[in-house]
Amino acid sequence: MDTFLLSLTVLLAGGLFALLTYRLFSLMKAGYIAITAVGCLIGLYAIATPLQGGEIVTFSVSWLHIFTLSFSLDPLSAFFLIPIFAVCPLAVVYSFSYMDHPEQQGRVGVSFFFCTLLIISMALVATADNIISFVLVWECMSLSSFLLVLFEYQKISARKAGYIYFIFTQAGALFIFAAMAMAYSHTGTFDFSSFSTIPANFKVIIFFLALVGFGSKAGIFPLHIWLPYAHPAAPSNISAVMSGVMIKMGIYGIIRLYALLDVTELIFGEVVLSLGIISGILGVVYALGKHDLKKLLAYHSVENIGIILIGAGIGMIGISSNNMVMASFGFAGSLLHVLNHSIFKSLLFLGAGAVLQKTGIRHIDQLGGLMKRMPTTGKTFLTGSISISGLPPFNGFVSEFLIYYGAFHGITLNGSSFIFVMLAILSLAIIGGLAAACFTKVVGVVFLGEPRTEKAANGSEVGIAMTAPMILLAASCLLIGLFPAPFVDLAFMGLASVKALAPVGAEEIAVVTANLALAARLFLALFLICVLLRKVLYLRKQISRGPTWGCGFTQPTVRMQYTGTSYAMSIVDFFRPFVLIRTRYSGINRIFPGRTTYESRVDDIAEVALVDRIVTPLLYLIGKFRWIQHGYIQLYIGYIVVTIIALLLFF
Amino acid sequence: METFISLAIAILAAPLFPGIILKVKAFFAGKQGPPLFIKYYTVAKLFRKGSVYSNSTSFVFTLGPVVGFASAFIVLLFFPFAGATPLFSFHGDVIVLFYLMGLGRFFTVIAALDTASPFEGMGAAREVFFSTLAEITIFTVLLLFCRMNGSLSFAEYFIGENPISFMSDTGALLFLVVFAMFMVLLTENSRVPVDDPATHLELTMIHEVMILDHSGPDLALIELGSFYKLFFYSAFITHLIYPFSTADGIGNWFMFYGLLAVVYAVVGVTESMMARFKMDLVPKFVLTSFALVFFAAILTMGVFQ
């Protein structure tokens, strides 16, 4: 624990350094990055021992003389600390160039400070060991990220995004507090360890209350509405941290609470699995329908949270039906996907940030041809795209395979469990296919083909401080894909904290990972042979260049290219009525038609339902009470007096 | 030894069978048709040629054929042709292989988008949509098979201890699977009624339009890859119709390749007798195959309870 606390102290020092020296802009950035990197490295060193099953270290301090804040570092915490300490420093390095706004040095300094606070509070969330410390650091995490979203607070859209995020995160926190309070009322102590003694029917209520709260942080459909607002509004390095790492704290909360409550009823797994399926499929469908690059990536977070929950749901159903192979592989796949998603999603957000910085465009239909202009960004983004589509030989496939493996072990179950497992497998297949569809769209429209606008044509590669983190992340995608064994082992070690889980034989894990590695390497070898073969075939051949075959059309323009909208429309259309597609067409109505316009947009049903069914009626209802607010101070005092008297009379 | 011979035969014979389809179609049209070895000539001719690349393309365009070919080829290494033990096999290899085919498709599609051609974009959009739907059928088949005998690899399916066959308790369900897999075969290999490789109108094609700009050895790799893919799907169906056991020896091989030729001939007959669907009917066609196997999977609930 000492090393862990040391790393947090170093991180905090880095944040304070940024806050104090912002006037020396370059020095501040360099110093901040160096200190943060050192702090994160110490943190990674600190979690090495608990991950290897070493003894669980704890730390506690009394606060306000009444409360004890206690923290412990067990394998599950340690596993969730890996993305925090591994991905955050890369995003911080990236910000050296990305946040290069000397004219806003104060604001950048403050942003760096809150980024540090976010990292520290996430690390503390993952280690909190009682109710008080958990809710305290949870709030710190929410508030610091809220302030980070507000970086461009002079823009109305950024403020709106910030408010939406604030409402969702605080409403979610309210549910978590309610769950914790209910737990406290039954145990009479703040300790997490006594959660298992709560009566069974209250466990259900506590779990589902907290699930709403954690779900709103993780971005479970339909509580994901803040994600597509907050991620595009925040600077890309912050989006990478928030989407890659922070939303996983919601997943941590769900798995941790499940482990603490020590429950085996089927309902938990079934609900979590269903939420995972809904989030996964609808997340990717909306991602297909969206054409703002960062918004689209935000929806992919919803999708990947869905995959993670499908894994967790398979695990929970496995525990309920005492099928430990299914349970272990489901949970392990879920945990590994947490790590994998943090890698490729932050990679993709960093890539999107690079595109944004060089072109100033977020709408994919205005981009194009960037692979030639930004080769490193393009190649790393392509790597991330393949990984997030869950295709071998990259890392996304490894975790999805573990989930499949667990799910197929549950296929012999009977009754409703079989239906759930079947749905899980099918939805994983659908999600995989649609994710591939979506990322062929993104890569094809943004990076390939011809640039659709002047700005896209003038794009150029970003600096080394931005490309280096992307290259590192892309390399880890391939590394985990080709050498899955140590990472799969990490995930299984992280599971040691889930007590209901009997460990599955190390041999089976070794065989599965060895087979995965074999297939990935075999494919890579075959691919390299084919590349070589192709080289041989093209020896001494005439190779010429010309225009693209226009199918007889001789005057092609770049505007004729297929756009992201047209590419995805038939798929999105297939998913009606779960998506709302609104089109506006001016029509051709005269003999010499004027300018015609066509507009289509895909609206999120969750958001529309929230606005139409909850917010609008609520505003109407509250509007009826507007006469109470009249602005006369003496009458307000009168309200207070009357209230106090009334309370005194009745209580 | 048998493994390598079987693999070698599969690799060499795959381009022969599409010739059968052409012959059958020619027969129905009352023509003589191209020679049976036409595909070998085509590939050999393409290998000798050079290439023209579009100015719009980047390195991704050249990766498309290579990844596509490698992903189709790797499946052959895991598949027990005619009951011969495959080169590699492990529990779960089917998932890896279908995902690898997905990787091949990913690269074919982005290579098509790399050309900046509206037609190729159109083909790409259709390809990803229809193949996603076909993937659902495939995974339903996988979970049905897993439920039948607990296996998750091609070798376990067809030459394992308890092979999947019409003779077993749940054999009747295989009728549905054979039919559904045939529909998937037509979808995934861009055959009529989903796609028409013979048409000259770019607007109506799916797969062929995506490879319009490829030429020379690149195109040869794509063609070879598509032969292997079709060969794999046909062999899958062949194995379902007739289960093999390693003990039977050389007779197996004749039986296998004979039945395989029949499957190809049925493809040819289908192509001769049907017209290509309107594009909006294709999803319904593919989902019909899903409904069939889903029904079969639900039926197993009754069998095992």
- Res B251: pLDDT: 79
Residue A585: beta bridge partners? A598
Evaluate if residue B305 carries a pLDDT over 50.
no
By CB atoms closer than 10 A (0-12, 13-18, 19+), residue A405 is buried
B140/A392 CB distance under 8 A: no
Question: Could you tell me which of A358, A302, A292 has the C-alpha nearest to residue A157?
Answer: A292
Candidates A542, A546, A558; nearest CB to B50: A542
Q: How many angstroms separate the CA atoms of A112 and A148, rounded?
A: 9
Which structure tokens are listed for A352?
């999107």
By CB atoms closer than 10 A (0-12, 13-18, 19+), residue B272 is middle
pLDDT in tens, B21-61: 999 999 999 999 899 999 999 999 999 999 999 988 999 99
Candidates A415, A426, A523; nearest CB to B70: A523
- Res A142: pLDDT: 93
pLDDT in tens, A167-223: 999 999 999 999 999 999 988 888 888 888 888 889 999 999 999 999 999 999 889
- Res B84: pLDDT: 85
- Res A427: pLDDT: 95
User: Residue B201: pLDDT band by 50, 70, 90 thresholds?
Assistant: low
Place of tokens 């549905």: B176
Interface of A with B in 428-447 (CB under 8 A): 428-430, 432-434, 436-437, 439-440, 443-445
Please check whether residue A459 is in contact with residue A355, taking contact to mean a CB–CB distance below 8 angstroms. yes
Cβ–Cβ contact B41 with A under 8 A: no
Q: Which helix H or strand E contains A645, and what residues bound it?
A: helix A633-650
Cβ–Cβ contact B45 with A under 8 A: no
| pTM over cut 0.90 | yes
Instruction: Tell me the nearest-neighbour CA distance from A536 into chain B, angstroms.
Output: 10
Evaluate if residue B303 carries a pLDDT over 60.
no
Looking at beta carbons, which residues of chain B come within 8 Å of A415?
A: 301
**Residues of chain A whose pLDDT is less than 50?**
none
Evaluate if residue B199 carries a pLDDT over 90.
no
Q: How many angstroms separate the CA atoms of A178 and A391, rounded?
A: 41
Which structure tokens are listed for A98?
């990305």
Is B253 or A428 the better-scoring residue by pLDDT? A428
Instruction: Tell me the nearest-neighbour CA distance from A254 into chain B, angstroms.
Output: 28
Candidates B132, B147, B212; nearest CB to A549: B212
Is B246 or A505 the better-scoring residue by pLDDT? A505
Please check whether residue B63 is in contact with residue B222, taking contact to mean a CB–CB distance below 8 angstroms. no
Cβ–Cβ contact A370 with B under 8 A: no
User: Residue length, chain B?
Assistant: 305
A523/B100 CB distance under 8 A: yes
CA dihedral B226, B232, B233, B237 (to 10 degrees): 150
- Res B247: pLDDT: 56
**Disruptive mutation site among A323, A383, A448, A536 for chain B (greatest number of B CBs within 10 Å):** A448
A570/B213 CB distance under 8 A: no
CA-based diameter of chain A, in Å? 101
- Angle ∠(A514,A517,A519) on CA atoms, nearest 5: 110
**Strand A67-73, strand A57-63: pairing:** antiparallel
ipTM of the prediction? 0.95
Task: Give the sign of the dihedral formed by CA B177, CA B179, CA B185, CA B190.
Answer: negative
- Res A54: pLDDT: 65
Question: Could you tell me which of B178, B218, B171 has the C-alpha nearest to residue B57?
Answer: B218
Place of tokens 């969206």: A290
Candidates B70, B92, B143; nearest CB to A526: B70
- Res A79: pLDDT: 92
Amino acid at site A626:
R
Which region holds residue A153: left if phi is over 0, alpha if psi is between -120 and 50, else beta? alpha
- Res A57: pLDDT: 76
Instruction: Tell me the nearest-neighbour CA distance from A549 into chain B, angstroms.
Output: 6
Please check whether residue A302 is in contact with residue A244, taking contact to mean a CB–CB distance below 8 angstroms. no
Interface of B with A in 222-281 (CB under 8 A): none
CA distances (Å), A38 to each of A7, A13, A492, in order? 8, 11, 28
Candidates B125, B150, B305; nearest CB to A567: B125
A570/B126 CB distance under 8 A: yes
A562/B122 CB distance under 8 A: yes
Instruction: Tell me the nearest-neighbour CA distance from A197 into chain B, angstroms.
Output: 36
Looking at beta carbons, which residues of chain B come within 8 Å of A425?
A: 139, 142-143
Evaluate if residue B130 carries a pLDDT over 60.
yes
- Res B302: pLDDT: 65
CA distances (Å), A615 to each of A106, A124, A165, A228, in order? 37, 34, 15, 19
Interface of A with B in 567-586 (CB under 8 A): 567-568, 570-571, 574
Asked if omega into A393 is within 30° of 0 (cis), the reply is yes
Candidates A371, A433, A568; nearest CB to B131: A433
- Please enumerate in sequence order all residues whose Cβ is within 8 A of that of A314, keeping only pairs 6 or more positions apart, or say none: A269, A273, A326, A327, A329, A330, A333, A334, A403, A406, A407, A410, A421, A424
**Strand A579-585, strand A57-63: pairing:** unpaired
Amino acid at site A264:
T
**Strand A543-546, strand A67-73: pairing:** unpaired
Looking at beta carbons, which residues of chain A come within 8 Å of B297?
A: 422
Q: DSSP assignment of A474-529, as one string? A: HHHHHHHHH--HHHHHHHHHHGGG-TT-PPPPHHHHHHHHHHHHHHHHHHHHHHHH
**Disruptive mutation site among A538, A548, A565 for chain B (greatest number of B CBs within 10 Å):** A548
- Res B203: pLDDT: 67
Q: How many angstroms separate the CA atoms of B194 and A580, rounded?
A: 28
Question: Could you tell me which of A115, A114, A119, A9 has the C-alpha nearest to residue A59?
Answer: A9
Candidates B99, B109, B142; nearest CB to A397: B99
Residue A362: beta bridge partners? none
Evaluate if residue B225 carries a pLDDT over 50.
yes
Looking at beta carbons, which residues of chain A come within 8 Å of B95?
A: 401, 404
Looking at beta carbons, which residues of chain B come within 8 Å of A432?
A: 99, 102, 135
Q: How many angstroms separate the CA atoms of A38 and A32, rounded?
A: 10
Region B78-86: mean pLDDT is 88
